[in-house]
Structure 1
Amino acid sequence: MIKSNFNGERLRTARLYRNYTITSIAEELGITKQMISKYENDKTVPSSEMLLRLESILNFPRNYFFENDNENIKIGNTYFRSLASTSKKDQEVQNIKLVYISKIYRCIAEYINFPKLNLPELSEVILEDPEKASLEIREYWKLGNNPITNMVRLLESNGIIVSTNKTNISSIDAFTQKQEFDGEDFYFVVLGQDKGNAFRRQFDAAHELAHILLHDPFLNLNEVDKDENREMEKQANEFAAALLLPKEEFIRDASMHPADLNHYLYLKKKWNVSVSAMTVRAYNLDLISYNQYHYLQRQISQRKWRKEEPYDREVAPSSPILLKKATLMLLENKKLSGPELLDKLSTKYNLTINSEEFEDLIGIDRGTLLKYRKDQSAVIIDFKK
């Protein structure tokens, strides 16, 4: 049932989500920017004809524009890779996606037992030392000094909600956000799937774990200057490298031929880390000198490995499975049909979206929800005698 009051904020979020500016959506609709502004600020309500056009252009069901986000949720800041070069608009678009994913997760969690959040509490001393923090989490998760074959699965198995989507924004590789609801903490990590590189995804996932463990989830990032932000990114990179390449084991491996790119290429298959990241780690561990490090960097450039290294195309990037698997469990076990799941999301969580949007957000094939409709075969008809 359509709610009675048009919500201008929902028009604004839909516009941003579909990458429209006020100017471009006004031109598409053939109206003024001032009229769009009035709609979005609840100064006037679109006519029925205008609503139809908004639905068509923005590809959101009509109900979406009449819903309110009135849930009692505390949302932390969002840590973006390359925050300084990511515009406020691009940040907001990705935050909207996180709100949608969060609602979908909570809707599904009514029926499915997801892994509980399993993170250590780190002391102040360890929080300031990425190397020590990486050892702490390896010990807490009982990883030993072995290579981590799948960072995405490791995060999911320890209660972190992971999703992928096409950010279509060159400055955003991944981002993380904390949310508090129903007295519990939840961490959401979104990994961009634009790059399609398994080794980069490993590092991105480890980098986002660093933000979860090391950095204040409710820090006001608007008050953080460029130097502080640069230092947080440096810490996250150091943590990711230390986690994926544990000091003692990596020194033992790399010290055989520390200034030979081909040796790092051999180690790439073992540690699931790019050659570029391993050379940085080797330099930071004093395995190679400043001159040797820059010589290796020049070689990487000469071999055109900046964008793509050997083996990059041979290994598919790992994808999150929990949201996808949980949804399929609901559908296949007939706990809910596809339309019923969308209806529950709409009526209880105030998020009316089409089936394709839902499927794209959690990474299942398009058409899946509508394939699982209620079975109508139990209705029996026959000719009159």
Structure 2
Amino acid sequence: MRVGTPGFMPERLTEARAARRIASKSALARLLSVNASTVARWEDGSSSPDTEALTALSDVLRVRREFFLRPIYDSARPMFHRSLASTLVRDIDYQHAQMRWLHELSSILQHYVDFPAIDIPDVLEGSSYKQLRDEDIERIALDLRSHWKIGEGPCTDVVALMERVGFVISTIEMGTSKLDGLCSWSTAEDRPHVLLANDKMSFPRRQMDAAHEMAHAILHKDVTVAELKQNLKFIETQAFRLASAFLMPSTTYSHEVSRPSLASFLSLKDRWRVSIKAQIKRLSDLEIVSGDHQVELYKLYSAKGWSREEPLDRAWPVTEPRVLKDAMEVIVTSGIRTKADLLAVEFTMSPGDIENVTNLPAGWFALKSGEIVQLRSDIERRHSNSDQPGVVVPFARK
């Protein structure tokens, strides 16, 4: 009888399969040339792969063998994600797996680097999100701006602001336009983590997506998994309302709308860097635009083909987060760890996965780190003591 691998974590196999978008245990079994029941037993924990099978799993799923021996990074708190009803389960599972890897990489890096302190005020003050009225959410948006000292004008970079106040953010290709973002609080660190999609991204959309996940972190930190399933539509509506109120404060933005029209929204987009579609919804929330007028504006919007791409969408570069990337580079350039050390000791995912989640350029691990070259002391001394003036070399006249 062949003995399995002691300490094998079946949840890790499920996670790796999701991260590779392998939809079923049967599909993974075909890649491994084993019976589907064998993979099923590995995943439910009733048996574990032997040394040879573990190596095959590592090769097929592109992770180190140690990956399957470490506990999964999970949280009792739910993951907030926006997706259409037609979104494939494997796409959602992929997003959740990437979020767990974000938690794991963030935790490892914080052993070496101090991340920005968490500065997220308790805006609920013991109340439940269910008790919030629209006017409460409007007040919370202004309170957040006041607390973070950003005034009441345009917020020029939501991602940078969120990183400054303690969020850990990553941006990845989701492989589908039906997934926008994901938010999850780390139980171990009590720090919010946000995963944003790069698919078909523009700067105004990045602003709203980031603000939406920020709203979840602030309003819905203590929501249970059961509550999320039961009240998903209400929770999503609250998050969008706070995101809109944060990006377009009622005290300033609304006063700049002289006449609600697509032309005026385009001008305001140039200043506030928020999509025209989001502006229409915002003015409807503030009851500046009636329901009938809102429908008419949406029809004109659609007729112009702006549902695919709005004017000015490409006017600004899309913001990428920096905290994880900078942490990786600091660890290596300071000599605390080499890239090879990190891959061999700390991380169990592939170099490409780590680069993807930490927003490092592709191939970063393969590049040799720069070495500091110091002048020989005798050469440095000779040049510093030289009394000879510099020589001017004239260019030849043409």
Tell me which interval the TM-score lies in, with the shorter structure as reference length. 0.7 to 0.9
Letter aligned with residue 131 of structure 1: E
Work out whether residues 42 and 49 of structure 2, in 8 Å CA contact, stay in contact via their aligned partners in 1. yes
CA distance in 1, matches of 2:86, 2:137: 24
Q: Does 1:215 align with 2:211?
A: no
Work out whether residues 25 and 40 of structure 2, in 8 Å CA contact, stay in contact via their aligned partners in 1. yes
- 1:354 positional shift: 2.1
1:307 matched residue in structure 2:
308
Q: Does 1:224 align with 2:229?
A: yes
Length-normalised TM-score, structure 2: 0.83
Give the 3 Å change call, closer, same or farther, for CA 371–131 of structure 1 in structure 2: same
- 1:223 positional shift: 6.5
Equivalent of 2:187, from 180, 186, 191?
Answer: 180
Work out whether residues 116 and 164 of structure 2, in 8 Å CA contact, stay in contact via their aligned partners in 1. yes
- 1:322 positional shift: 0.7
Letter aligned with residue 310 of structure 2: E
SS in structure 2 of the partner of residue 190 of structure 1:
strand
Between the aligned residues of both structures, percent identity stands at 28
Q: Unpaired runs of 5+ in structure 2?
A: 374-398
CA distance in 1, matches of 2:262, 2:174: 32
CA distance in 1, matches of 2:94, 2:252: 41
2:25 matched residue in structure 1:
22
1:366 matched residue in structure 2:
362
Q: Does 1:39 align with 2:4?
A: no
SS in structure 2 of the partner of residue 269 of structure 1:
helix
Equivalent of 2:12, from 7, 10, 13?
Answer: 10
SS in structure 2 of the partner of residue 309 of structure 1:
coil
Moved over 6 A (4+): none
CA distance in 1, matches of 2:274, 2:369: 43
Work out whether residues 76 and 178 of structure 1, in 8 Å CA contact, stay in contact via their aligned partners in 2. yes
Q: Render the CA deviation track for 1:83-136: whole Å, top value 9, x for unaligned.
A: 866565544432322222222112222222211110111233985422111011
Equivalent of 1:353, from 325, 349, 354?
Answer: 349
2:137 matched residue in structure 1:
130
Equivalent of 1:151, from 148, 152, 158?
Answer: 158
SS in structure 2 of the partner of residue 81 of structure 1:
strand
Work out whether residues 20 and 61 of structure 2, in 8 Å CA contact, stay in contact via their aligned partners in 1. yes
CA distance in 2, matches of 1:275, 1:223: 29
Q: Does 1:79 align with 2:97?
A: no
> How many residues end up aligned between the 2 structures?
361
Work out whether residues 182 and 213 of structure 2, in 8 Å CA contact, stay in contact via their aligned partners in 1. yes
- 1:37 positional shift: 0.9
Q: Which is further off, 215-224 or 138-147?
A: 215-224
- 1:47 positional shift: 5.0
1:381 matched residue in structure 2:
none
Q: Unpaired runs of 5+ in structure 1?
A: 347-351, 378-385
CA distance in 1, matches of 2:240, 2:137: 9
CA distance in 2, matches of 1:277, 1:185: 31
Give the 3 Å change call, closer, same or farther, for CA 200–223 of structure 1 in structure 2: closer
Q: CA RMSD in A?
A: 2.5
Letter aligned with residue 168 of structure 1: G
CA distance in 2, matches of 1:11, 1:323: 25
1:116 matched residue in structure 2:
117
SS in structure 2 of the partner of residue 173 of structure 1:
strand
Q: Render the CA deviation track for 1:213-266: whole Å, top value 9, x for unaligned.
A: 1114341236632xx211111111111111101112112211x221x2011111
Higher-Rg member (1/2): 2
